[in-house]
Structure 1
Amino acid sequence: MSTEKPDNLITSIGAGAISLGIFAVLAAAAISLTYIAGSESIAANKAASKARALAAVMPANLYDQSLLSAPIELVDYAKLNLKPNALAYAAVKSGDTQAIILPVIAKDGYSGDISLLLGIDKYGVIQGLRTIEHKETPGLGDKVEHKKSDWVDSFIGKSLANTPSNDWAVTKDGGVFDAFTGATITPRAVVNAVHQGMLYHQRQQSVLYNAPQEQ
């Protein structure tokens, strides 16, 4: 049987409760700080990944500020098969927009949507193209990935001026873009999507090149 006096027992219980309360507060604070730090790290990694993707379709000599610093909210985004609040990015040099990076989605890939980034300069010439996401067949349709094939580089230098409308097709359809051996649907979808991106860039130049730029 405990011989501790009631007052001492109450004091002891109170001290224990206070200690547990302090521990709970400190633990909660530590968890919150860890969550915040983790969230910031994830956000930083996503931003870095997006910056690399944008840089892959835009020559470095066309911009002197971060490509992420000049987003442009797209109008008539459905023409590119995009959702509301879709963003393009401007390549800005000495305060002037030299080129635009457009997101474009090909809806008619063999295995679903193919997400693309298309870099076009102010003269309407393609500077780069990359596939960002797809579900195409490994060994066939996945050649739209730059790491699997340099096929996307065949678009560089093309424009609406030097490539007539009928040429924006794979060779099987009478165009100038090669298909993949054993796979025509995927490259056909990409060519069509890029052509739509080029037409959009032509129609929306006044919006794209006069959008306010963050410094």
Structure 2
Amino acid sequence: MKRMSDEAYNEQSVATTTEFADPVDGDTEEVAVIRPLLARTRLEKLPLRMAYSADEHGWSAGAFHAQVDTFGAAVVLGTSAGGAVFGAYNPRGWIGLGDERNAMSAFLFTFPSRNTSGSAEKLPKVGGAGLAIIDKAEAGPQFGAEGLTIPLQPGQERLAKSRLGTYYARRADGGRSLFAAGEEKRAQLTELKVYVAEGGPEEWQLDGIVWKSSSS
């Protein structure tokens, strides 16, 4: 499948919180939960596949990057021990080269009622596009310096941290965490998955000192 360039998508502005994507033929039950959130993103109308499952591939940064690097835009979906269902949209994808990646259209989300049949609360990037995604080979997904961090480190494989307000918007009730009541800024994960568009990886080449994909 041909990967389209950033200019082909309306992802230069803050993620919409008032529009919702329609279902796509073939969506699984889990993809159907996140599909409405993908309005005006490059994944809005594309079939999605599960690229990474921590239970299946391993609770480690190495396993995570082995499955998601170079596959482009992605959605992280996690569940905490307290019952929170939450995640994030990464429009730039991962390549594991230590980049701090700018992305105005990145966002976090959470289901405050823990009921995924209801509506998720979508939390857009704030404070400009900078530091939307931190892409380190030795760590799992990270959005902003503290919006959502899942290090996937030995001894703390299931640890997740979240503090909203600086890089991603706070919740409507003023809450500063994606997690359930009582979990505050830290939670233990019971599930962690990443979805990407169906198709093969992008090709990356070094252009001077900047790595660029074939879709850049």
TM-score, normalised via structure 1 length: 0.33
Which of the two has greater helix per residue? 1
TM-score, normalised via structure 2 length: 0.33
Query: Is the radius of gyration larger for structure 1 or structure 2?
Result: 1
Ranked by relative contact order (alpha carbons within 8 Å, sequence separation 6 or more), the top structure is 2
